[in-house]
Amino acid sequence: MAREQEDTGAGVLVLAGTPIGRPDDATYRLVRELTTADVVAAEDTRRLRRLASNLDVRLPGRVVSYFEGNEESRTPELVSALRDGARVMLVTDAGMPSVSDPGYRLVEAALGAGARVTAVPGPSAVLTALAVSGLPVARFAFEGFPPRRAGERARWFAALAGEERTLVFFESRHRLASTLRMMADSFGADRQAVVCRELTKRHEEIRRDVLDRLATWAETENPLGEITIVVTGAPASAGRDPSVSLEAAVETVAERVATGSSRKDAIAGVAREFGLRKRELYDAVVNQRSA
């Protein structure tokens, strides 16, 4: 297939990974590609020029913007350049294009036009966070940014509660505290997690703890910067056992509350022991009280 693409005479699309923090994380090949590309499409042209200045690189090619707002309209222009044989380079603000960033639409269109698509491997917040997390990395799932709306986000986390692979998320600093609190509610307050902030930058911070305490830290400190969250997967036994009666679990919660436990602690403990989602058990307890 690659041979057929080259024979069309179309150009090459280069997806280039850029530093997620320190400019000196850039590869030699990134520098070379920046100096030879006919067109450089950048998520933020100002950040691109700042990176080029830090790397002491001159950009001889045409520089154009390519971001979420103009991705649909700009793609045909870049595909036209590829059809004419140009070497088109795509860079985002940090990391690899297409990974929670613009790129997929252009890759799909470039392949459809018979262009060759290649990549300049580079820094990745996903893999960097996994590597330093200290959590299991043999199997993992990258989930990107959680939904912005609180209700949709809560339902999304509830659906992931039984996932046994280590989970990786990006999140805005503005929603970090509420997201960690929702994770604690859905995954369990004592689920191990790691918050990676400003990876490879001067103020890099890696905080390892259970979700409940991480949520409290974020609520108190309101940390700034680029955030990656790594959460350990659910235990293999965390799935709902069809033989477990939700009614029996509710009764057990009532018994523990009657003997002095707080409702919160009773629900958390029973949910863990019965293999139930805490939110599911909480809703059942509340519904019984209001019945």
CATH number at residue 60: 3.40.1010.10
Count the Cβ atoms, other than its own, within 10 Å of residue 31: 15
Structural domain that includes position 21:
2-123
Q: Which tokens in the block code for residue 205?
A: 């911070």
pTM of the predicted structure, to 2 decimals: 0.76
Q: Is the pLDDT of residue 63 over 50?
A: yes
Question: Same structural domain for residues 260 and 166?
Answer: no
Whether residue 159 sits in one domain with residue 264: no
Q: Which of 213, 237, 261 is the last residue of a domain?
A: 237
- pLDDT for residue 1: 38
Residue 280 sits in the same domain as residue 170 = no
Instruction: Look up residue 278 and give its two tokens.
Output: 């805490």
Do 133 and 245 share a structural domain? no
Tell whether 81 and 111 lie within a shared domain.
yes
pLDDT tens per residue, range 210-227:
999 999 999 999 999 999
Identify whether residues 201 and 166 lie together within a single domain: yes
What mean pLDDT is predicted for residues 189-212? 95
Rounded to whole angstroms, the Cα distance separating 234 from 290 reads: 31
Q: Is pLDDT above 90 for 2? A: no
Do 7 and 30 fall into the same domain? yes
Total count of domains within the chain = 3
Cα distance between residue 263 and residue 260, in whole Å: 9
Same domain, 167 and 109: no
User: Are residues 137 and 84 part of one domain?
Assistant: no
Q: Are 90 and 14 in contact (CB under 8 A)?
A: yes
Domain with 196 in it: what CATH number?
3.30.950.10
Confidence of residue 8 (pLDDT cuts 50, 70, 90): low
Contact predicate 240/276, CB 8 Å: yes
Mean confidence (pLDDT) of the chain: 90
Q: Evaluate if residue 174 carries a pLDDT over 80.
A: yes
Read off the pLDDT of residues 64-111 as tens digits, 9 standing for 90 and up. 999 999 999 999 999 999 999 999 999 999 999 998 888 999 999 999
If you average pLDDT over residues 145-152, what whole number do you get? 92
Burial 59-79 (b: 16+ CB within 10 A, else e): bebebbebbeeebeebbeebb
Does residue 5 surpass a pLDDT of 50?
no
- Which H helix or E strand runs over 258? helix 246-258
- Identify the CA nearest to 66 among candidates 57, 76, 58, 56: 76
Per-residue confidence (pLDDT) for residue 134, from 0 to 100? 96
pLDDT value at residue 7: 52
**117 and 133, same domain (yes or no):** no
Same domain, 91 and 166: no
The phi and psi torsions of 62 (rounded to 5 degrees) equal -75, 135
Encode pLDDT of 229-257 as tens digits. Answer: 999 999 875 455 555 678 888 888 898 88
What pLDDT is attached to residue 86?
97
- Among residues 76, 106, 85, 80, which one has the least CA distance to residue 16? 106
Looking at residue 256, what is its pLDDT? Answer: 87
Between residues 2 and 142, which one has the greater pLDDT? 142
Per-residue pLDDT at 100: 82
Identify the domain boundary among 69, 96, 123: 123
pLDDT of residue 6: 46
Last residue of a domain, one of 101, 123, 145: 123
pLDDT score, position 243: 55
Band of pLDDT at residue 4, cut at 50, 70 and 90: very low
Shared domain for 116 and 197, answered yes or no, is: no
Residue 61 pLDDT > 80, yes or no?
Answer: yes
